[in-house]
Amino acid sequence: MAGQITPLFQVFILDVASGNLFEIPFESINCIDELNNGKSMSVQLDYPAVKSMAAAYRTTVQDLFTATFREIYVTMDGVKIWYGVVAEYNRSKDATGQYQMGIAAIDYFSLFQKRRTGLTTINFTNVDPATIPWSLINTSQQSLGAGSASDFGITQGATALTPLTITVSYKNSELRQEIINLSNYKQNGTFDFDIDFTKKFNVYYPIKGTTRTNIVLDDNNILADTIKIPLLLSMTNSIFVTGQGINDDQAGVNRKAGNSIVNAYKLLEDQIADINVTDTGLLAAEGDRFLALNQLPLYQISLKHDGKDPDVTTYDVGDTLVVNVPEEGVINQQYRVKKRTLDIDKGGQCIVQLDMLLI
pLDDT tens track for 316-333: 999 999 999 999 999 999
Is residue 1 situated within a structural domain?
no
Q: Are residues 346 and 224 in the same domain?
A: yes
- Range 126-151 average pLDDT: 92
pLDDT given for residue 63 in this prediction = 94
**Residue 1: predicted pLDDT:** 46
Residue 152 and residue 18 share a domain: no
The yes-or-no verdict on residue 224 having pLDDT over 70 is yes
Q: Does residue 17 lie within any of the structural domains? A: yes
Q: Provide the CATH number for the domain around residue 25.
A: 2.40.10
Reply yes or no: is the peptide bond before residue 310 cis, omega within 30 of 0.
Answer: yes
> Is residue 199 domain-shared with residue 285, that is, in the same domain?
no
Q: Is residue 4 part of a domain?
A: no
Q: Which residue would you say has higher pLDDT here, 147 or 222?
A: 222
Domain count, the chain: 4
- 193 lies in the same domain as 124: yes
CB 156, CB 200: distance < 8 Å: yes
Q: Which of 106, 123, 139 is the last residue of a domain?
A: 106
Q: pLDDT value at position 195?
A: 98
Q: Name the pairing type of β-strands 38-45 and 26-34.
A: antiparallel
**Domain shared by 76 and 123, yes or no:** no
H/E run at residue 136 = helix 132-141
Q: Examine residue 324 and state whether it is found in any structural domain, yes or no.
A: yes
The answer to whether 91 and 47 have CB atoms below 8 angstroms apart is: yes
Decide if pLDDT at 42 tops 50: yes
Q: How much of the chain exceeds pLDDT 70, in percent? A: 98
2 within a domain of the structure (yes/no) = no
Confidence grade of residue 131 (pLDDT, cut at 50, 70, 90):
very high
* Cα separation, 297 vs 295, whole angstroms: 7
Are residues 289 and 349 both part of a single domain?
Answer: no
Give the global pTM: 0.90
187 shares its domain with 120: yes
In-domain check, residue 334: yes
Do residues 122 and 173 share a domain? Answer: yes
Residues contacting 81, CB < 8 A, separation 6+: 31, 74, 75, 312, 313, 342
Q: What is the mean pLDDT of residues 296-303?
A: 90
So what's the pLDDT on residue 298?
83
Domain of residue 151: give its range.
115-204
Q: Which of 75, 106, 137 is the last residue of a domain?
A: 106
Least confident of 2-11, 141-150, 286-295: 2-11
User: Residue 288: in which H helix or E strand, if any?
Assistant: helix 280-294
Q: Which of 106-110, 142-146, 288-292, 297-301 has the highest mean pLDDT?
A: 106-110
Per the domain annotation, does 160 fall within a domain?
yes
* Whether 124 and 240 share a structural domain: no
pLDDT tier at 6, thresholds 50, 70, 90: confident
Cβ–Cβ contacts within 10 Å for residue 169, how many?
16
State the number of CA atoms in the 13 A half-sphere of 105 facing the CB: 30
Q: Is 222 within the bounds of a domain?
A: yes
User: What is the average pLDDT across 287-304?
Assistant: 92
Backbone dihedral region for residue 168 (phi beyond 0: left; psi -120 to 50: alpha; all else: beta): beta
Regarding whether 219 and 185 lie in a shared domain, the answer is no
Provide the Cα torsion 233, 236, 239, 244; round to 10°: 60
**What is the predicted pLDDT for the residue at 4?**
62
Residue 3, pLDDT score: 53
Whether residues 345 and 218 share a domain: the answer is yes
Q: In angstroms, rounded to a whole number, what is the distance separating the alpha carbons of residues 45 and 279?
A: 48
Domain end: 106, 123, 147, which one? 106
Range from 75-79, 88-92, 124-128, 272-276 carrying the lowest mean pLDDT? 272-276
Same structural domain, 76 and 35: yes
